[in-house]
Amino acid sequence: MRKRILPALLCTLTLLTACGGEEPLNWTPTPATPSPTPVSSSEDEAPWASLTLEDLPAALADPADLFSSDQPQVYLLGCELDEELYLYGLNDGYGGGILLRRGEELIHFDQTFALPEAPSLPELYLTDMDGDGIEELAVRYLMGARGDQIVYDLHIYRQEDASWDDLAITHDACAQQALEAVSIDYSAATGQFTLSYGPTSAVYQVPEGVRSNPGQLTLDSCFFREADGVFTVVLGARLDVTGVLFANILATIDCEGEGFVLRDIRIESNTVV
Q: What is the pLDDT of residues 216-230, one digit of tens each?
A: 999 999 999 999 889
The pLDDT score that the predictor gives to residue 128 is 86
Q: What is the pLDDT of residues 256-273, one digit of tens each?
A: 888 999 999 999 998 764
Of 117, 118, 109, residue with least CA distance to 90: 109
Confidence of residue 140 (pLDDT cuts 50, 70, 90): very high
- Terminal Cα distance for the chain, rounded: 41
The pLDDT score that the predictor gives to residue 14 is 38
Report how far apart, in Å, the C-alpha atoms of 136 and of each of 38, 129, 156, 164, 171 are.
Answer: 26, 7, 7, 10, 20
- Rg, the chain, Cα only: 22
- Residue 167 sits at the vertex; the CA angle it makes with 80 and 135, to the nearest 5 degrees, is 40
Buried b (16+ CB within 10 A) or exposed e, 121-131: bbbbbbbebbe
Q: What is the mean pLDDT of residues 97-122?
A: 93
Q: What is the mean pLDDT of residues 176-192?
A: 97
Q: Give the whole-number percent of the chain exceeding pLDDT 90.
A: 66
Report whether pLDDT(57) > 60: yes
The per-residue DSSP string of 185-231 comes to EEETTTTEEEEEETTEEEEEE--GGGTT----EEEEEEEEEEETTEE
Report whether pLDDT(24) > 60: no
The per-residue DSSP string of 40-62 comes to P-S-TTSGGGG-BGGGS--SBPP
Report whether pLDDT(3) > 60: no
The pLDDT score that the predictor gives to residue 159 is 86
Of 222, 221, 220, 178, residue with least CA distance to 200: 178
User: Which of 59-63, 67-71, 122-126, 168-172 is least confident?
Assistant: 67-71
Yes or no: say if 70 and 95 are a contact pair by the CB < 8 Å rule. no
pTM: 0.81
Position 251, amino acid: A
What is the rounded average pLDDT for all residues in the chain? 84
Q: What is the mean pLDDT of residues 247-253?
A: 98
Q: What is the DSSP letter of 174?
A: H
The whole-angstrom separation of Cα 98 and Cα 101 is: 10
The pLDDT score that the predictor gives to residue 189 is 94
The pLDDT score that the predictor gives to residue 267 is 98
The pLDDT score that the predictor gives to residue 85 is 93
Q: Find the length of the chain.
A: 273
The whole-angstrom separation of Cα 149 and Cα 249 is: 14
Report whether pLDDT(23) > 60: no
Confidence of residue 17 (pLDDT cuts 50, 70, 90): very low
* Cβ neighbours of residue 115 closer than 8 Å, sequence gap 6 or more: 142, 143, 144
Report how far apart, in Å, the C-alpha atoms of 1 and of each of 4, 19, 143, 236 are.
Answer: 10, 28, 27, 29
Report whether pLDDT(76) > 70: yes
Of 83, 88, 81, residue with least CA distance to 16: 81
**3 state DSSP class of 181:** helix
